[in-house]
Amino acid sequence: MAVVFGGRSNEHDISLISASHIIASIPKDKYDIVMVGITKKGHWFRFMGDPEMIKDGSWESCPDNLPCVISPDPIHKGIITFSGDDVSKVRIDVVFPVIHGKNGEDGTLQGLLDLAEIPYVGCDLISSACCMDKSVTHTILEQHGIKMAKWVKVLLCDSARLDEKCAECEEKLSYPMYVKPANCGSSVGISKVRDLEELKAGIKLAFAHDRIVVVEEEVIGRECECAVMGNTEPFASAVGEIAAANEFYDFDAKYNNAESKTYIPANIPEESSELIRQTAVKAYKAIGCCGLSRVDFFLTEKGEVILNEINTMPGHTPISMYPKLMEHAGISFAEQEDRLIKLALDRAGVDYE
């Protein structure tokens, strides 16, 4: 099998930590692991060094690294490695794409693996893409009666009539609002805005990241997350809670601020927890997710459950919510990885026993 890590998104560094944790946990008696790292610039290398070197990025300077690609041609299935004039191929039965965000969690890598006919862990092309794009997630889930924040979609082609679009936001939504690039992640490009001037600036900032922008009304509530695993009969974990150290769960609060805390299980009423778990599975099925996803919610004071987003390749670092919630359900980290790989093979109809 291959573990692919790194990638061009702003979550590159998180992917490195997730991947080294996953590689350390995958049962070696069952799987031979080929490590493939993608640099921030998008160059692919087969890495053959100590997996410990992945975590801090030092894998990139390993002299044994060889440029490689995954062939999209199923006849030449596998990883093709280039060494001077020599070209060699390693057969791959399954890929664990441990890449968060753009060009990894958004269906692009999944599309390549579909062409190659190589089974892979996690959501397929279309469900990955639908969860990555917050405007598509809104549209699909609302059709299934799943509540999300009130919102307005703004397109780059609306730029010439931005005043009109801002008036629409003000008419449909109250301040404060959150302005988000539809496809990003890690809170990058997101701003909380309190007036028209900030709204305009927020939309312009978001356009630097995407041509589709989602403006949402603020939901006042606790941030709760639920881990889901499975293909046709998904299992939902207990609910965890995030208490952000900053005003909202921005990039700094997520990755730098030790004051941000997670609670497992969340200290919320049993009925709220049950509603979150049921809604997580309903949303997972509505979008057609498979393998795994972490479904994020707000729980309001009145007990309303409002879905925020679905992450199809959630963080897998030792302190990440997804693996911790699954561990809480009695599934060890090694067992989680094994199950995820088997779900990938199952989905592809491969008999692995």
Ligand X SMILES: Nc1ncnc2c1ncn2[C@@H]1O[C@H](COP(=O)(O)OP(=O)(O)O)[C@@H](O)[C@H]1O
CB under 8 Å, gap of 24 or more: what pairs does 67-70 form?
Answer: 67/43, 68/36, 68/44, 69/44, 70/2, 70/36, 70/44, 70/95, 70/112, 70/113, 70/116, 70/118
CB 298 to ligand X: min, Å:
6
Could you tell me whether strands 291-300 and 261-263 are parallel, antiparallel, or unpaired per DSSP bridges?
unpaired
Q: How far is the CB of 328 from ligand X (least distance, A)?
A: 21
Least distance between ligand X and beta carbon 201 (Å): 17
> CA separation (Å) from 143 to 115, 212, 286, 287, 326?
30, 20, 9, 11, 29
Q: Which is nearer to ligand X, 94 or 321 (CB)?
A: 321
Pick 241 or 296: Cβ nearer ligand X: 296
Binding to ligand X (CB under 6 A) within 210-229 occurs at 216, 218-219, 223
Q: Does 263 bind ligand X (CB under 6 A)?
A: no
By beta-carbon proximity to ligand X, the closer residue of 134 and 324 is 134
Binding track over 163-202 against ligand X, x by CB under 6 A: ---------------x-x---xxxx--x------------
| Options 24, 155, 162, 244; binder of ligand X; rule CB under 6 A | 244
- x/- site string to ligand X, residues 123 to 162, per CB under 6 A? --------------------------x-------------
Residue with the two structure tokens 């009539």: 161
Which of 308, 312, 320, 336 lies at the binding interface for ligand X (CB under 6 A)?
Answer: 308
Kind plus residue range of the DSSP H or E element containing 243:
strand 235-243
Of 108, 154, 72, the closest CA to residue 312 belongs to 108
Helix (H) / strand (E) containing 293? strand 291-300
DSSP-assigned states of every residue in 27-58: -TTT-PPEEEEE-TT--EEEE-S-THHHHTSG
Residues touching ligand X, count (CB under 6 A): 18
235 is a site residue for ligand X (CB under 6 A): no
Taking the complex as a whole, the smallest distance from the CB of residue 111 to ligand X amounts, in Å, to 21
> For the chain, how big is the Rg over CA atoms in Å?
21
The reply on whether position 309 binds ligand X by CB under 6 A is yes
Query: Which stretches of the chain bind ligand X, using CB under 6 A?
Result: 149, 178, 180, 184-187, 190, 216, 218-219, 223, 244, 248-249, 296, 308-309
